[in-house]
């Protein structure tokens, strides 16, 4: 029920959602796709990750989501390598019988992925490349899921 993939290639949303809906247990599939924004003259983005830990960390997040909500499936596909504005970077999908847990789990997974999964972005603008800085708003988003 967890499908976690790190790849350079684009992903196929039709196939991923069909797999989560197959069998008729999932009435609701919530998908997040993150895309490269054409902000401030961005020409391209290059993603690096920590092979091994990336998959392990995402699997831990997915297990936590499955413990919190009655899900029928979770799919996370994160791309690495060089991407252009508009390209998809990541797919996070959560499936459940009803929509409320699917929405909550998808948002939880994204917030944790942004703050815990070991990926780093390099941004190229006007021929210059620099590492993207982490955003404080992402830490704030993740912190709201912490249990007291």
Partner 1 sequence: MTLLYFAWLRQVIGSGEEQITLPPGIGDVRGLITHLKGLDAKYAQAFADEGRIRTAVNQHHAALDAPVSDGDEIAFFPPVTGG
Task: Report the interface residues with partner 1, using CB under 8 A.
Answer: 34, 47-50, 52-53, 56-57, 78, 89-90, 110, 113-122, 131-135, 138
Q: How far is the CB of 85 from partner 1 (least distance, A)?
A: 16
Q: Does residue 117 bind its own copies (CB under 8 A)?
A: no
Residue 85: partners with Cβ closer than 8 Å, 6 or more residues away? 36, 37, 38, 42, 43, 44
Residues 112, 10, 12, 142, Cα dihedral to 10°: 10
Q: What does DSSP say about strands 119-125 and 42-49: parallel, antiparallel, or unpaired?
A: antiparallel
Quick one: what does residue 39 bind among partner 1, its own copies, none, with the CB cut-off 5 to 8 Å set by partner type? its own copies
Candidates 103, 115, 118, 124; binder of its own copies (CB under 8 A) is: 103
Residues in a beta bridge with 123: 45, 130
Whole-number Å distance between alpha carbons of 134 and 148: 25
Which of the choices its own copies, partner 1, none does residue 107 contact, using the CB cut-off of 5 to 8 A by kind?
A: its own copies
Distance of CA 99 to the CA centre of its chain: 19
The least CB distance from residue 81 to partner 1, in Å, is 13
* Adjacent-strand bridge partners of 136: none
Question: What minimum distance in Å lies between the beta carbon of 62 and its own copies?
Answer: 18
* 38 near its own copies, rule: CB under 8 A: yes
């Amino acid at each position: 029920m967890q499908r976690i993939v790190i790849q350079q290639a684009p992903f196929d949303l039709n196939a991923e959602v069909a797999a989560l809906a197959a069998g008729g247990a999932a009435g609701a599939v919530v998908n997040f796709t993150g895309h490269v924004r054409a902000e401030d003259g961005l020409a391209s983005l290059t993603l690096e990750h920590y092979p091994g830990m990336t998959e392990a960390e995402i699997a831990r997040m997915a297990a936590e989501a499955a413990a919190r909500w009655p899900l029928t499936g979770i799919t996370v596909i994160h791309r690495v390598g060089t991407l252009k504005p508009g390209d998809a970077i990541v797919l996070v999908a959560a499936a459940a019988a009803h929509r409320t847990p699917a929405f909550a789990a998808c948002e939880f997974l994204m917030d944790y992925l942004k703050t815990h999964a070991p990926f780093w972005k390099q941004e190229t603008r006007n021929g210059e490349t620099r590492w993207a800085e982490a955003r404080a708003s992402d830490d704030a988003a993740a912190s709201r899921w912490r249990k007291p």
